[in-house]
Amino acid sequence: MPAASPTSSVRNPENRASIKRLTREHFALYRGYLDGVSVEQLHATYGDATTDVRATRRLIGLLRDTLSGAARRTRDVEATHLLRLRPGSIPEAQRLAASEMPTLEAYRESVDPDGFHSEAELLELYRAEFPQENTPSVDRRTTRNARLRRRQVDALARMEASLVQAPRPDHPVASWLEPSIAHRLQNTGIHTLGDLLGFIERRGHRWYANVARVGPKAARRIVEWLALHADSLLHMLSKRALTPRRRLSSNDPALVRPRQSGIVPIESLDVPTEIDGSAGTNRLRNPGLPCPMSTDLQAIDAWLATRQHSPHTARAYRREAERLLLWAVNERKKALSSLDSADCTEYIGTFLADPQPAARWVGRAKIERNHPDWRPFVGALSNRSRETAQAILHAMGQWLVAQNYWGHNPFSNAPAVAIGPRIDVSGRSLNHGQWQNVVQAACRVQYSQRELRDYLALNLAYSTGLRRAELARATTGWLTQSALGSGPANGWQLVIPGKGRATRTIPVPQAVMELVEESLRARGLPGDPGVCPADTPLLTHFRTGNSLTPDGMGQVFRRLFSWAALLSTPQNPVGDRARSNASTHWVRHTHSHHALESGADCREIQLRLGHANLSTTLLYVKAGHHGPVVNGKSGVLPTR
């Protein structure tokens, strides 16, 4: 029994009159005891680190009583006697000789492995080398004891074959694991070994973080014990459940879920043949207009393959197609190609507004697609999100009709979603006083590397109006110098790549460039962005030096706004909504409002923000003003 086997009967036997479940670990422990291994060594190998050697000594006594009692009940008189003999009752041959005299067989193997000497010659050599110990009585005792030891080993093997039990998925955790650990697992809702296996698979390698007072060492022992009994438990823990996610590449086979029905990601969905779309009521039945796609899954895959404009766009399109397909198959019990206008209207108007049953459709945010707890929703969709979903699905329907897969587009007659203004200009930006609080909260006399990175992120976002993903992707290669007017000074510009060949150019204030140079030097790089490799990120993780993800960038700004809330004043409060909801888009809105209030032209702001339509930019125009303009310039932070 390895150290990773914290069975309750092994760990705390003193509270039991007998052992309810005898395992192979028990027999391994008792076999070592009969072989003469010290109790201290047995405790180090098989005992619990939270107990002392007395617990293992008590367990050995309990095993002796349990095994001999079981042998007595089966009328195995020999085993009853042999298994109660203590170490030393059957001494080995070497224990009889002060000079550690070997047996005759061991002597023959060491001096005459090829059998050159006869039996008489070998015995004469043996007695000549060990004259004191080699007597007929010693030989007889050695033979008798060796035979007795073999009988004892055979008796223990017989008892093991008839009594040993293996853990099963339906066994309670309390019957196998240490009582204190089992109690903590039960408090978490884990009552059987099957529950424990499922919990670890769902939570991953840090599953123990969700169990009070179970640390990584205890978790490792439990996992190793489960692996030891994987055959009887009928489950081997997956690589995904045992390996930190950062150590698995995105295409690692361990991250691929098997094909199955139910609420699962589209790449793992197994659709029954009768509703896979091959016989859908909306399929175009015209032999003269062939279609290479046979099922709804194939049709969705083909459509998504044509919509790879950007990772963000691809995710949005896949998400909406996936949700509709799952709803059709699991709720409507029909193929995607059998949905009619009434189905589509109910889906957009009712289901997306409140996905029910929530336990089936709604899950926690930030769960990977390969995780068993993944769900297609994290909550009800807003009117704006439902409008977007309807637009995407309508476009998918038009494409499927054009490809001769659908006979008509069922989303064509779906009523439009009633929505308000596209941009909440009044509730998602800060006035100048509030913005000063945010700047003051991020400003330091002496910066750590992370504080400097955060202050640069705040400056860069406010002075350029970049989106969160653009801030995360920004590199020194995006920075270019251009002559300002006819003077000798050179100014910096940020050239942001867009879809296709579309780019936009934004001037970067000198104060922000000074922060960029200081941040590069703090990371051990040349201060001149033009000297750095073009793929050097402007904003990085302060420990790893890798580019921040968009989510990581969002965490930076949430932390900055939390600091600002601590410095807010009655005149310029940074309210609870800003503290809990503020994001990079708040800074983008604030940048636009302040720039427009300072007299910047709407078309200039449109180009700077990358809006496709001027009407979107005009939504930023407000009837009133926030207050005095910062430095009298648009989109420029006050310097330190």
The amino acid that residue 579 corresponds to is R
Do 328 and 397 lie in one domain? The reply is yes
Do 203 and 272 lie in one domain? The reply is no
In a domain, 168, yes or no: no
Higher pLDDT, 274 or 587: 274
Q: Output the pLDDT for position 111.
A: 66
Do 83 and 196 lie in one domain? The reply is no
Q: Output the pLDDT for position 364.
A: 86
Most confident of 99-108, 434-443, 625-634: 434-443
Number of Cα atoms under 13 Å in the Cβ half of residue 522? 22
CA–CA dist 332, 343 (Å, integer): 8
Bridge partners, residue 480, by sequence: 493
In a domain, 231, yes or no: yes
- Average model confidence (pLDDT) across the chain: 82
Element (H, E) at 311: helix 311-327
Q: Output the pLDDT for position 131.
A: 58
Do 490 and 623 lie in one domain? The reply is yes
Check pLDDT > 50 for residue 3.
no
Do 286 and 177 lie in one domain? The reply is no
Q: Which of 350, 384, 402 is the last residue of a domain?
A: 402
Q: Output the pLDDT for position 185.
A: 96
Do 466 and 371 lie in one domain? The reply is no
Do 553 and 613 lie in one domain? The reply is yes
At 336-348, the pLDDT tens digits run 999 999 999 999 9
Higher pLDDT, 180 or 398: 398
Check pLDDT > 70 for residue 439.
yes
Q: Output the pLDDT for position 200.
A: 93
> Mean of the pLDDT values across residues 435-461?
91
Cα–Cα distance list, 99 to 103, 306, 598 (Å): 12, 85, 101
Higher pLDDT, 25 or 50: 25
Three-state SS annotation for 317-365? HHHHHHHHHHHHHHHHCCCHHHCCHHHHHHHHHHHCCCCCCHHHHECCC
In a domain, 486, yes or no: yes
DSSP label of 245: G
In a domain, 177, yes or no: yes
CA–CA dist 295, 292 (Å, integer): 10
Q: Output the pLDDT for position 587.
A: 87
Q: Would you say 238 and 254 are in contact if contact means Cβ atoms under 8 Å apart?
A: yes
Q: Output the pLDDT for position 240.
A: 84
3-state helix, strand, coil in the chain (%, to 5): 50, 5, 45
Q: Would you say 104 and 119 are in contact if contact means Cβ atoms under 8 Å apart?
A: no
In a domain, 417, yes or no: no
CA–CA dist 35, 26 (Å, integer): 14
Q: Output the pLDDT for position 338.
A: 97
Do 506 and 472 lie in one domain? The reply is yes
Higher pLDDT, 394 or 589: 394
Residue 482: count other Cβ atoms within 10 Å of its Cβ. 10
Higher pLDDT, 373 or 132: 373
Do 78 and 118 lie in one domain? The reply is no
Do 473 and 586 lie in one domain? The reply is yes
Q: Is the whole-model pTM more than 0.85? A: no
The amino acid that residue 277 corresponds to is G
CA–CA dist 62, 56 (Å, integer): 10
> Mean of the pLDDT values across residues 567-583?
57
Q: Output the pLDDT for position 304.
A: 94
Segment among 238-252, 272-286, 617-631 with least mean pLDDT: 617-631
CA–CA dist 244, 567 (Å, integer): 39
Q: Output the pLDDT for position 289.
A: 86
Task: Provide Rg for the chain, Cα atoms.
Answer: 37
In a domain, 137, yes or no: no
* Number of domain units in the chain: 5
CA–CA dist 377, 381 (Å, integer): 9
DSSP label of 211: S
Q: Would you say 321 and 396 are in contact if contact means Cβ atoms under 8 Å apart?
A: yes
Do 159 and 185 lie in one domain? The reply is no
Q: Output the pLDDT for position 16.
A: 42
Q: Output the pLDDT for position 96.
A: 43
Q: Which CATH number covers residue 451?
A: 1.10.443.10
Q: Output the pLDDT for position 51.
A: 77
Residue holding tokens 């909306």?
282
Check pLDDT > 90 for residue 250.
no
Do 581 and 483 lie in one domain? The reply is yes
At 47-62, the pLDDT tens digits run 776 678 998 898 898 8
> Mean of the pLDDT values across residues 61-84?
85
Q: Output the pLDDT for position 622.
A: 47
Residue holding tokens 């769902």?
202
Bridge partners, residue 483, by sequence: 490
CA–CA dist 239, 201 (Å, integer): 9
Element (H, E) at 223: helix 216-228
Q: Output the pLDDT for position 515.
A: 94
Residue 57: count other Cβ atoms within 10 Å of its Cβ. 17
What is the extent of the structural domain holding 119? 102-132
Structure tokens at 114: 């090829």
DSSP symbols for 24-84: HHHHHHHHHHHTT--HHHHHHHHS-TTS-HHHHHHHHHHHHHHHHHHHHHTT-HHHHHHTT
State the sign of the Cα–Cα–Cα–Cα dihedral 234, 240, 241, 242: positive
Residue 357: count other Cβ atoms within 10 Å of its Cβ. 8
In a domain, 423, yes or no: no
In a domain, 638, yes or no: no
